A and B are shown apart, each in its own frame.
Chain A
Amino acid sequence: MQREDIKRQILTILEDSFEFENPGLNDNLRDEHGFDSIDAIELLGEIEKILGFSLTRAEKEKAMTIRTINDILDYIEVIASEHSR
């Protein structure tokens, strides 16, 4: 899975489901888009669909440090690469 492809999917989700307006890759999700803990849990469900497998509890907890869209993309890349080993 290419980063560009992941980015396209995540931006679509953030714009369509989370109603982000003009999301920037380094925007602070909470401060600039009102993204909260409820949204984080909902987004993890969407990320599981992109990845095609369920995240473990430990993997989900790692996601709680995410602050930007770039962080989301890094997170997905790392998890995907760990699972492909």
Chain B
Amino acid sequence: MERRVVITECSAITPIGYAKDDIIKSLKEGISGVKPLRDDGLLTDYIHSRVFGTVDYPIAYDFKRLYRKTMGPVAFYACQVAKDILARAGLSQEFISSGRLGVAFGSTHGSPSIQRHIYKTFFSNLKSEFSSIGAVDYLKSMVHTTAVNITRMFGITGRVIASSTACTTSSQSIGFGYEMVKYGMQDAMICGGADEYDTTAVAVFDNLLACSVAYNDKPECTPRPFDRKRDGLVVGEGAGAVLLEEYESAKKRGANILAEVIGFACNNNGGDLILPNIDGITTTLRLALEEAGIKADEVDFVSAHATATKMGDVIESQAIAAVYGDSPLITGLKSYMGHTMGACGAIELILTMYMMESGFIAPTLNLESVDERCGMINHTRKLTAVDTNIAAIQNFAFGGVNTCLLIKNGSAVS
């Protein structure tokens, strides 16, 4: 059994806004969400990169203690975007708890701030007679904390998939959720990813010389995907969730169809865990087209992974050129908010849907002078009014994991 799968709701908490209108405004006006790195009292002094894609606006959470007590900051993000899409979808509680709705949601490694709290207990309070690891610390920090806090809050009894593959966490979540619905294992899936403010991730990339360090006094000028003066990625935070539904039932209940997921591919480079791999990436992009049953020239827009590392952008440009030539518009959305890690695939898909719906494609921010090694593809250099029928969202992760999601504009779904 193969069924069509549509996206009927979405919500994102991003460094460039939470409400759809705020995000669209930032994309149209070229507003960056990259801010100075906040002092965390631990690692900040040792990190060379002093920038972070920051969610610096208040979010009015309204979660009862019953739910809050097992949530670290990453689960707050995840539950908030899940709550948004469920509230808007208006699904019955009977369906939500029927076992036919599942959750595919992940984060890079649970809640780093709670893990830090646990380590502090280990190393600082050993002499204190009464201190112990709190009963809820594991539930707050474990790697599937986002997915199961969502199931708990809404009484969801279907499947749980908790991808944790760094930068492909949420693109895998969406892809695996799509497969669950497509092949009839579930009728609907809440999919996405989240990551909280975390200097550990910055330190890791900083030590690998992969973080941006040249724009510490001008955070909004970095990251600079595909630009000659790019000097690395900027870590960010946020969350994104989408509701996937089987097409016929979504149509029957009169759901607003934002997009149809028409293809997904996921593979591994089968070798080095860090270096980008042209063969692995190219294969992923081709497999997604094959799965969707479309030709490369039908794709109008590619949301590139584009982290702004020196080699990553070059390899990705080569892969795009090999598969698509210079036809589709290419934008690196991380230029607006940095690399939101486990959330990036979901956030970049949601931003792509916002642009599709609003009839524009935003340019890659800070792309002032294209690196000639990235020059063979059709970079979006200015805000472009255009109808996008089919878009590709591609993401690549440490560990050699590659994903590509292909979506069709909801207005063209029939």
Contact = CB atoms under 8 A, between A and B. Distances in A.
Interface stretch (B65-73, B337-345, B351-359): B65-73
Interface string A17-30: 01100000000000
B58 to A, nearest CB: 21
A34 B66 CA distance: 7
A38 B65 contact: no
A42 interface: yes
B65 A19 contact: yes
A48 B134 CA distance: 13
Contacts of B139: 38
Contacts of B132: 45
Contacts, number: 23
Nearest to A20: B65
B134 A45 contact: yes
A30 to B, nearest CB: 12
Contact of A38 (B69, B129, B130): B69
Given A18-B65, A38-B69, A39-B69, A48 B130 contact: yes
B134 to A, nearest CB: 7
A54 interface: yes
Interface centre among B70, B130, B132, B139 (most CB of A within 10 A): B130
Contacts of A34: 66
Contact of B136 (A18, A19, A38, A53): A38
Contacts of B134: 42, 45
B1 interface: no
B60 interface: no
Interface in A31-52: 34, 38-39, 41-42, 45, 48-49
A42 B129 contact: no
A42 B65 contact: no
B66 A49 contact: no
Contact of B135 (A18, A38, A48): A38
A49 B129 CA distance: 10
A45 B69 contact: no
16 contacts: A19-B64, A38-B70, A38-B135, A38-B136, A38-B139, A39-B69, A41-B135, A42-B69, A42-B134, A42-B136, A45-B130, A45-B134, A48-B130, A49-B130, A53-B129, A54-B130
Given A42-B134, A42-B136, 16 more contacts: A18-B65, A19-B64, A19-B65, A38-B69, A38-B135, A38-B136, A38-B139, A41-B135, A42-B69, A45-B130, A45-B132, A45-B134, A49-B130, A53-B129, A54-B129, A54-B130
In the complex, the 9 A-B pairs of residues with the closest C-beta atoms, listed nearest first: A41-B135, A19-B65, A48-B130, A34-B66, A38-B135, A42-B135, A38-B136, A49-B130, A54-B129
Interface of B: 64-66, 69-70, 129-130, 132, 134-136, 139
Interface of A: 18-19, 34, 38-39, 41-42, 45, 48-49, 53-54
